[in-house]
């Protein structure tokens, strides 16, 4: 949640801050603000997007400063609740991502001391406390206050008379960008890629002091921490729209490449770098949101391909599960590697002695640093809030992992492994076949764009696909949508069916086909229009569905990838017809770093 950026160097800070905030706006767009140090500490902020901030035409001269784009937690999105926050004397400015759990007590302490507070946020108490703790050393004041704080934070602080940025993190990501004569800090890499690709990941409990010529890292006790940087292989163009109208559409069309990159050097030999993973008797897959739908399919794959009993558990519910302490393998799935619920589940699993494999798209993220075994998805940067290429890359990683475990425990014969790998290698081309059909999908989207409700149905491998399709539609088009296992329709949902409630049925040629045809017939008998996602050449489905979107024929277990791409395009075009903010859906943020 929330986008944070800071700059210090020889260039004018304001243009860099605004440019970087635009690149971080997928993390929150309720309000925005900047603070720049010149002859004075200059601040401009407002409710709304970064464009609303720019419309106020700030003209700040100064070579260091901070910027913020907010996803609201404490207090509504108003001008007064926007960041940065100043202390009562106007000496300090602060930006914050996270939640201060003991802020009520800290706030009361300030009120009792007569300190005027101007917002409803938990963030403002930090800057007021830092100003009261200051004895001429910003880093020392920040450290003193943070030792009293409970909760999560990524903060950057500036003082009007000291040429430095002070940053700190706990359970909320911060990355430092290194360059010659200037330094950057941000909550995510894309904010800085135009300026540098040399990054340092702050870890929980660490603080950093940035000057134009140096970066020093220490911990909450004051001990120095060695500086370790990584070179990012993405480039700035990877995080641009590249001629596409929206990031989401660009990222949908990048899926053949993302899938290929995820498989490169890993097939045909299934070299996943996981030799030290012990063969488990049981697997639990933990994730949130879209990644949880990957986990649900992963459960089926682990059982069918690897022959290992498995369970998919929402990360936010994992610590309440009685299965937490059982021996076995936990597979944690997160696009960003910063999803706080997933990190909490991983920490609990490790505390109880479980081995953990992380499936993640961001090397150097908290999840990859805290997990011994990592399977990277290699999808590249994903800017659109609604996950697309990262989801299908997660699915491919889970296919690879299931085949790897199935081979190791001899559930699969060598010939079966070879056949599955051969089908996986066809997948980028098959996905491109779905993308080539985008015009037909766009025409279908216009047909349902006026709907208020929609139902997605599938079975076995494609029940998670139905859930993901429904999530995508509701995320970006704001149409109420539900996903169901098709066999459940007659147990309640069918009561809502009628001419105004389209059903999207995922019905590839697999062992569930006959039952899916029956479900379509049941829906049509209630006057419900049906859109079928079906295999090329299937004539029977055209006799029972109103519209058929074709996907290439594939090994049945791979059909969720192809159906998902079709559903992503369908949701995208529906949202476009409805005039929705596709890359920045309301109330959502890309990386969920609060519980």
Q: Catalytic site residues?
A: 2, 590
Tell me if 34 sits within 8 A of 209, measured CB to CB: no
What does DSSP say about strands 310-314 and 283-287: parallel, antiparallel, or unpaired? parallel
Tell me how far the alpha carbon of residue 48 is from its chain's centroid: 22
Q: How far is CA 3 from CA 20, 228, 269, 341, in A?
A: 9, 23, 40, 19
- Three-state helix/strand/coil letters over 307-342: CCCEEEEEHHHHCCCCCCCCCCEEEEEECCCCCHHH
Angstrom distance (rounded) from CA 571 to CA 232: 32
Give the count of alpha carbons within 13 A of 296, CB side only. 20
Burial 80-102 (b: 16+ CB within 10 A, else e): bbbbbbbbbeebbbbbbbbbbee
Q: Which is it for the CA torsion 386, 390, 393, 397, positive or negative?
A: negative
DSSP state of 114: T
Angstrom distance (rounded) from CA 226 to CA 231: 17
Tell me if 190 sits within 8 A of 11, measured CB to CB: no
Tell me how far the alpha carbon of residue 487 is from its chain's centroid: 31
Tell me if 530 sits within 8 A of 520, measured CB to CB: yes
Token representation of residue 253 = 């069309």
Residue 231's DSSP bridge partners are 198
Tell me if 9 sits within 8 A of 63, measured CB to CB: yes
Q: Which is it for the CA torsion 247, 553, 547, 489, positive or negative?
A: negative
Residue identified by tokens 């012990």 is: 278
């Amino acid at each position: 949640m929330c986008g944070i950026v800071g700059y210090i160097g020889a260039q004018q800070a304001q243009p860099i801050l605004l440019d970087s905030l635009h690149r971080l706006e997928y993390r929150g767009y309720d309000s925005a603000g900047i603070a720049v140090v010149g002859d004075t500490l200059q601040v401009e902020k407002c409710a709304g997007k970064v464009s609303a901030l720019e419309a106020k035409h700030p003209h700040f001269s100064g070579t260091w400063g901070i910027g913020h784009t907010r996803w609201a937690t404490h207090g509504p999105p108003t001008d007064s609740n926007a960041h940065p926050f100043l202390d009562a004397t106007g000496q300090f400015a602060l930006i914050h991502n996270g939640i201060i759990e003991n802020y009520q007590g800290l706030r009361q302490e300030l009120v009792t001391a007569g300190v005027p507070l101007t917002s409803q946020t938990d963030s403002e108490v930090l800057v007021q406390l830092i100003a009261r703790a200051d004895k001429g050393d910003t880093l020392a004041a920040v450290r003193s206050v943070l030792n009293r704080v409970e909760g999560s934070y990524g903060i950057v602080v500036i003082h009007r008379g000291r040429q430095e940025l002070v940053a700190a993190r706990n359970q909320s990501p911060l990355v430092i960008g290194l360059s010659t004569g200037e330094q950057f800090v941000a909550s995510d890499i894309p904010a800085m890629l135009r300026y540098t690709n040399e990054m340092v990941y702050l870890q929980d409990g660490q603080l950093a002091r940035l000057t134009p010529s140096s970066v020093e890292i220490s911990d909450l006790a004051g001990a120095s921490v060695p500086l370790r940087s990584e070179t990012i292989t993405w480039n700035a163009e990877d995080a641009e729209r590249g001629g596409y109208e929206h990031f989401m559409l660009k990222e949908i069309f990048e899926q053949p490449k993302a899938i290929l990159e995820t498989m490169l050097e890993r097939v045909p030999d299934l070299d996943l770098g996981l030799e030290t993973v012990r063969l488990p008797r049981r697997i639990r897959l933990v994730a949130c949101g879209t990644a949880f739908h990957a986990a649900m399919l992963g459960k089926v794959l682990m059982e069918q391909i690897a022959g290992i009993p498995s369970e998919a558990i929402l990360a936010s519910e994992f610590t309440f599960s009685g299965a937490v302490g059982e021996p076995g393998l936990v597979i944690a799935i997160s696009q960003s590697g910063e999803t706080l619920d997933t990190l909490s589940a991983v920490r609990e699993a490790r505390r109880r002695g479980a081995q953990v494999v992380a499936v993640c798209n961001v090397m150097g993220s908290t999840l990859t640093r805290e997990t011994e075994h990592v399977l990277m998805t290699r999808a590249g940067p994903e800017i659109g809030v609604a996950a697309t290429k990262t989801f299908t890359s997660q699915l491919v990683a889970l296919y690879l992992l299931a085949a790897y475990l199935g081979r190791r425990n001899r559930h699969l014969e060598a010939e079966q492994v070879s056949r599955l790998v051969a089908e996986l290698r066809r997948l980028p081309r098959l996905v491109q076949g779905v993308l080539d059909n985008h015009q037909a999908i766009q025409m279908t989207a216009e047909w349902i764009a006026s709907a208020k409700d929609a139902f997605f149905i599938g079975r076995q491998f494609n029940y998670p696909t139905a859930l993901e399709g429904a999530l995508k539609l509701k995320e970006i088009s704001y149409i109420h949508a539900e996903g169901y296992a098709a066999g459940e329709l007659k147990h309640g949902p069918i009561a809502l069916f009628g001419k105004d409630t389209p059903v999207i049925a995922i019905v590839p040629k697999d062992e569930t086909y006959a039952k899916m045809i029956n479900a379509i017939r049941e829906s049509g008998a209630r006057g419900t229009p049906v859109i079928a996602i079906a295999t090329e050449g299937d004539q029977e489905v055209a006799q029972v569905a109103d519209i058929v979107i074709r996907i290439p024929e594939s090994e049945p277990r791979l059909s969720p990838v192809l159906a998902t791409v079709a559903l992503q395009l369908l949701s995208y075009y529906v949202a476009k017809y409805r005039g929705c903010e596709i890359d920045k859906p309301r109330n959502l943020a890309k990386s969920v770093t609060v519980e």
